[in-house]
């Protein structure tokens, strides 16, 4: 079956996470994604991870996680010959993605304005912490910096444990998803108009709309976010509770769900208690309700409550460790993870595309590339002969 982006060529100048995560989605959809890496170290992600021998081979776990289905060539963009090669690549490409700080590509003479002249159909996506313009545009940014500046850390945790960062780089990954979405939209526009364009994606801009409900309570309702830990601020009882053998998530967000779960745990009388009868009253009195609720939940194990709640239409689930979560039969059924062989290491499990397409399915076909694995082949495709390629290696251009 034809894949959605088959025939689309992407130049990937990105490093570490936000950019590689964006281009990974394009690669899984069938685009040819060519990582253009510096000849000395390559993507910084190649040396990041908890397996030292993989880091030494420049195939760190952080790199492996984000770069399946891609090609790799090395190119010194500060070298005039390197720039000439890069311009040839731009001429045959559909998309360029970079996550340098604003102004870097322009100083190299390879900014959008210069490249547009070579290829007016090029979709050029720049990912940065704060965007290409504005008072903070020139500042460096990592995920944790954006978590702090966006308010993400301020809304997490409890009064005793706050501020609190998310346990994974949420701003980087959301920035990458936003970039992938924007690139697809720009390609759709190009199909209708024939013209490429510049796309400016900021991690700060990308994460804030994900807090839409929390922000709306403040912007529209004038209510600052409450530090509720694992409780859901929209309803009660809705959160994480202790059981006889661990913890369970229960989300009784609708009135009928509250009434059902009250019956299930043996607290039917609370349905008519004025403290808990209506949603807003339950929210005001959630601490009292949670104590009563948890006393009942402690009588049975998690599996009992999950089965009982789900049978009554009340969403409930165990709280799993990461390893157990990754081994769930549902994920196996959905093919959320796929296995590829990494030379010198063996099989590794990597995430597949999460969206399932009925007619143009995505697939994870090849492992992340060794540094510069495809340099000579790409140079030959551009028309360089063996002598020229050998000279580029000798001069350090590639």
pLDDT tens-digit profile of 198-227? 999 999 999 999 999 999 999 999 999 999
User: Has 172 been annotated as catalytic?
Assistant: yes
The pTM of the full predicted model, rounded to 2 decimals, is: 0.94
Rounded to the nearest 10 degrees, how much is the dihedral formed by the CA atoms of 148, 149, 150, 152?
A: 10
CA distance 385 to 368: 27
CA distance 36 to 79: 14
pLDDT one-digit tens code per residue, 82-134: 999 999 999 999 999 999 999 999 999 999 999 999 999 999 999 999 999 99
Tokens of 334: 């959905």
User: Among all chains, which residue has been given the structure tokens 């551009």?
Assistant: 382
**By percentage, how much of the chain surpasses pLDDT 70?**
100
Residues with Cβ within 8 Å of residue 86, at least 6 apart in sequence:
36, 75, 77, 110
Domains 9-209+332-395 and 247-318 belong to one CATH topology: no
The Cα angle at residue 286 between residues 280 and 289, in degrees rounded to 5: 115
pLDDT at site 138: 94
The pair phi, psi for residue 73, each rounded to 5°, is -135, 150
pLDDT one-digit tens code per residue, 35-54: 999 999 999 999 999 999 99
- Catalytic, out of 94, 172, 200, 231: 172
pLDDT at site 2: 82
Packed helices 386-395 and 80-91: angle between N→C axes, nearest 10 degrees: 130
pLDDT at site 318: 97
In the chain, count of helices (H) and strands (E)? 19, 11
pLDDT at site 344: 87
CA gyration radius for the chain?
Answer: 25
CATH tag for 9-209+332-395 (out of 3.40.50.10540, 3.40.630.30, 3.30.70.260, 3.30.470.20)? 3.40.50.10540
The residues pairing with 71 across neighbouring beta strands, listed in sequence order, are 34
Complete edge-to-edge strand list for the sheet that includes strand 247-251: 238-242, 247-251, 316-318
DSSP-derived letter for residue 161 is B
Strands 316-318 and 247-251, by their bridges, are: antiparallel
Q: In what helix (H) or strand (E) does residue 37 lie, and over which residues does it extend?
A: strand 32-37
Q: Before 136, cis peptide (omega within 30)?
A: no
pLDDT at site 126: 98
Model confidence at 1, pLDDT cuts 50, 70, 90, reads confident
Q: Tell me which architecture the domain covering 247-318 has in CATH.
A: 2-Layer Sandwich (3.30)
DSSP-derived letter for residue 104 is H
Tokens of 288: 């009292």
- The 3-state DSSP class for residue 160 equals coil
CA distance 171 to 321: 22
Domain residue extents for the chain: 9-209+332-395, 247-318
């Amino acid at each position: 079956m034809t894949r959605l982006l088959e025939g689309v060529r992407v130049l990937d100048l990105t490093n570490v996470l936000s950019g590689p995560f964006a281009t990974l989605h394009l690669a899984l959809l069938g685009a040819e994604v060519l990582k253009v890496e510096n000849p000395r170290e390559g993507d910084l992600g190649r040396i990041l991870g908890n397996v030292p021998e993989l880091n030494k081979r420049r195939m760190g776990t952080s790199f492996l996680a984000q770069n399946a289905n891609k090609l790799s060539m090395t190119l010194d963009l500060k070298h005039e010959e390197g720039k000439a090669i890069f311009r040839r690549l731009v001429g045959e490409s559909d998309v360029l993605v970079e996550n340098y700080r604003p102004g870097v590509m322009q100083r190299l003479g390879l900014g959008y304005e210069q490249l547009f002249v070579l290829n007016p159909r090029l979709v050029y996506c720049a990912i940065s912490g704060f965007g290409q313009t504005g008072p903070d545009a020139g500042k460096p940014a990592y995920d944790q910096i954006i978590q702090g500046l966006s308010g993400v850390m301020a809304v997490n945790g409890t009064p005793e444990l706050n501020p609190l960062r998310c346990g994974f780089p949420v701003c980087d990954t959301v920035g990458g998803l936003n970039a992938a979405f924007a690139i697809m939209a720009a390609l759709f526009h190009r199909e209708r108009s024939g013209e490429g364009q510049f796309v400016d994606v900021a991690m700060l801009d990308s994460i804030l709309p994900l807090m839409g409900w929390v922000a709306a309570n403040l912007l529209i309702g004038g209510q600052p976010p409450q530090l509720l830990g694992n409780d859901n601020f929209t309803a009660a009882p809705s959160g994480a509770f202790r059981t006889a053998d661990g913890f369970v998530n229960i989300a009784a967000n609708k009135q009928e769900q509250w009434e059902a779960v009250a019956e299930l745990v043996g607290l039917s009388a609370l349905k008519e208690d004025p403290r808990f009868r209506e949603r807003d009253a339950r929210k005001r009195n959630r601490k009292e309700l949670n104590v009563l609720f948890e006393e009942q939940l402690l009588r049975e194990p998690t599996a009992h409550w999950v089965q009982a709640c789900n049978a009554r239409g009340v969403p409930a689930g165990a709280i799993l460790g990461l390893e157990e979560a990754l081994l769930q039969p549902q994920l196996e059924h959905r093919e959320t993870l796929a296995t590829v062989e990494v030379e010198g290491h063996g099989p590794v499990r990597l995430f597949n595309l999460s969206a399932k397409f009925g007619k143009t399915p995505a697939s994870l076909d090849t492992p992340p590339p060794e540094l510069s694995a495809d340099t000579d082949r790409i140079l030959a495709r551009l028309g360089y002969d063996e002598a020229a390629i050998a000279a580029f290696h000798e001069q350090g251009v590639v």
